[in-house]
Amino acid sequence: MPGHPFYTLGGSDTVEVSVAVAAGQGVEVTPGTGTGGVPGKVRPWSAGSTTRVGIAQIAGVPEGGNAVNNLAPLPRHISVQRAPVGTRMQYAAAAGWRDPLIAAANGQVTPAGGSPDPLTIVGYCDEPAGVSSGATGRVHLV
pLDDT tens across 108-125, in order? 999 998 888 999 999 999
Residue 34 has pLDDT above 70, yes or no: no
**Percentages of the chain per state (helix, strand, coil), in multiples of 5:** 5, 40, 60
What integer is the mean pLDDT of 104-109?
95
Q: CA 123 to CA 69: how far, in whole Å? A: 40
Q: Best-predicted range by mean pLDDT among 26-30, 53-57, 71-75, 128-132?
A: 128-132
Q: Which of 23-37, 55-69, 73-87 has the lowest mean pLDDT?
A: 23-37
What integer is the mean pLDDT of 47-68?
85
pLDDT at 103: 95
* Cross-strand pairs, 78: 15
Element containing residue 65 per DSSP (H, E):
none
What integer is the mean pLDDT of 25-34?
80
| Sign, CA torsion 47/48/52/54 | positive
